[in-house]
Amino acid sequence: MNLINIQKGEWPRFLLAFSYFFFLLAGYFMLRPIRGTVAANHSESLHLLYTGTFISMLLLVPVFGWLVSRFRRGRFIPGIYLFFISNLIFFVFAFKGEATLDWVQYAFYIWLSVFNLFVVSIFWSFMADIFRPGQAQRLFGSIMAGGSLGAISGPLLTARWVEHIGSSGVMILAIILLLLATTIAIALGRFERGQQQNPQAVIIGGSVWEGAVKVFRSKYLLLICLLMLSHNLTSTFLYNGLAVLVDRNITGFDERTEFFSYVDLIVQVLAFLFQFLITSRLVIFLGMPRTAVLPPILLAAGFTLLGSSLGLVLFAAIQVAQRALNYGLLGPVKEMLFTVVDRETKYKSKNFIDTVVYRGSDVTASWIFKGMMTAGLSLSQIAWIYVPLMGIWAAIAWRLGTTYLRLKAQLDSVSG
C-alpha cells in the first residue's frame, strides 16, 4: 500500500483509472511504430504533416466544444472513442505494407496524431474532474504508470507480430484494446455517478469557444501553453532528427517499424519506473516548482552532449531520455496543474491546450527545424542552438509551480 500511497476507499476508482489508461495507451502504442515508419519514409515532408495535423485540430476543437456543451460526460467520452475506432477500421483495409499508397500513409500519420492528443486529453480531463489536488499528487504518477505498462505492451506486441500479421493485423489488435478502454471508461463514469448519488451527471454547458477564450484570459493557462511550447520545440527537434537519421541508416518498412517499436519499449519502461516509484515522491518531497524544473535541466545536459558528438544510437538515447522524462515526470506534473481550475476549464480549455496549442507548437517547431536544415545547419549545430531554450523552459516551469501552489492553497481553504 505504501508503495503507491493509496488511501482507504480510493482503490476501486484507482484500479478502474489504471486499467482504462493501460488499454488506451496499449492500443495507441501498438500503432505508434507504424507512424514512426511513415515519418521515416517521408522525413522530408514532416513539416507538412505537422501542418495538416494542426489544421485538423482546428477543425475538430469546435466540434469537441459543442459535444462538451450539449452532452454529459458519460456520453461524449465513449462517443469520441468510438468515432476514432471507426476511423481505424478504414486503415485496416487501406494499409498494404510497402505497397501502401502515400496519401494513405499521410492520412494515417495525421489521424493518429489527432487521435493521440484527443483521447489522452479527454482521459486526463476526466481524471482531473474526479480526483482532488491532494489525491492527484499521490495518485496521478501511479495512474500514469498504468498507461506506461500499456505503452510497454503495445510496441512489444507490434515488434513481435508485425512481420507475421502486417500493419493491418496490428491495427485489428489495437481496435480490440481500444474497445476495452472504452468499456472501462463507461464503467468508471457509472461508478462515479453512483458514488455521488447523481445518476444524471451535470452537463457542463457554456459556449463552444469558451475554452479557447479562457486560455487567453488566464496568465496561469498561458504559462501552461508556454511550458508546452518549450517542451515541444525540444521534442520535435529530437523526433524529426531521429527520423532523418533512421532514413539514412535503416532500410525497409518492417525493419524501421521494429526499430521504433524497441525505442518506444525502452521509453515506456523508464517512464513506468518514474511514474510508479519516483514522480509522486518527488512532488511531495521537492514540491511542485523544483520538480517542474528537473526535465529542462537534465535535457540541457543531453543537448550539450549531442552538440559535441552525434550518431544514430546517441541521438536515439537522448530522445528516449526526453520522452521518458515527458511521460514519467513532466506529464504527471502537467496534469496535476489542471486539478486547481474549474470544471469547464478542465474539459474545454485543457482540450484546446492539449490539441490546438500542442499541435500549433509542433507546427512551429517543425518549420523551424526544416528552416535550419534547409539553411545547411547540421543536427549538432541545431542542438547547440536549443540549449538556451532549456533555461527559458526552466524559468517558466518554476513560475508555474509557484502559481499552482498558490491556487491549491486557495482551493484547500475554500473546501476545508
Q: Is 416 part of a structural domain of the chain?
A: no
Percentage of the residues of the chain whose pLDDT score is greater than 90:
36
Q: How many domains does one find in the chain?
A: 1
Q: Which pLDDT tens digit goes with each residue over 364-410?
A: 888 898 899 999 999 999 999 999 999 999 999 999 999 999 999 99
Q: What is the mean pLDDT of residues 315-342?
A: 90
Q: Is 85 part of a structural domain of the chain?
A: yes
pLDDT higher than threshold 70 for residue 129? yes
The C-alpha atoms of residue 281 and residue 5 are separated, in whole angstroms, by 10
Taking the CB of residue 260, how many other CB atoms lie within 10 A of it?
26
The C-alpha atoms of residue 49 and residue 65 are separated, in whole angstroms, by 24
Cell of 140: 496521478
Taking the CB of residue 191, how many other CB atoms lie within 10 A of it?
14
DSSP 8: T
Report which residue type is found at 393.
W
Residue 101 three-state SS? coil
pLDDT higher than threshold 80 for residue 205? no
The C-alpha atoms of residue 199 and residue 147 are separated, in whole angstroms, by 28
pLDDT higher than threshold 60 for residue 248? yes
Q: Is 6 part of a structural domain of the chain?
A: no
Q: Is 2 part of a structural domain of the chain?
A: no
**pLDDT confidence of residue 203:** 59
pLDDT higher than threshold 70 for residue 416? no
**pLDDT confidence of residue 208:** 46
The C-alpha atoms of residue 163 and residue 167 are separated, in whole angstroms, by 8
Question: Average pLDDT of the chain?
Answer: 86
Residue with cell 545547419: 377
The C-alpha atoms of residue 198 and residue 40 are separated, in whole angstroms, by 49
More confident residue, 128 or 292: 292
Q: Which pLDDT tens digit goes with each residue over 163-194?
A: 788 888 989 999 999 999 999 999 998 888 87
Q: Is 1 part of a structural domain of the chain?
A: no
**pLDDT confidence of residue 352:** 83
> Which run of H or of E encompasses 330?
none
What CA dihedral angle connects 114, 158, 42 and 390, to 10 degrees? 60
Q: Report how far apart, in Å, the C-alpha atoms of 362 and of each of 216, 275, 321 are.
A: 19, 25, 19
Residue 160 three-state SS? helix
More confident residue, 256 or 4: 256
**pLDDT confidence of residue 288:** 92
Here the CATH number for the domain that contains residue 188 is 1.20.1250.20
Contact call for residues 268 and 155 (beta carbons, < 8 A)? yes
DSSP 278: I
**pLDDT confidence of residue 415:** 65
Q: Is 62 part of a structural domain of the chain?
A: yes
DSSP 199: S
Contact call for residues 235 and 322 (beta carbons, < 8 A)? yes
Residue 158 three-state SS? helix
Tell me the pLDDT band of 206, cut-offs 50, 70 and 90: low
The C-alpha atoms of residue 341 and residue 326 are separated, in whole angstroms, by 22
Question: Containing domain of residue 396, as a range?
Answer: 11-411
Q: Is 4 part of a structural domain of the chain?
A: no
Cell of 106: 499521410
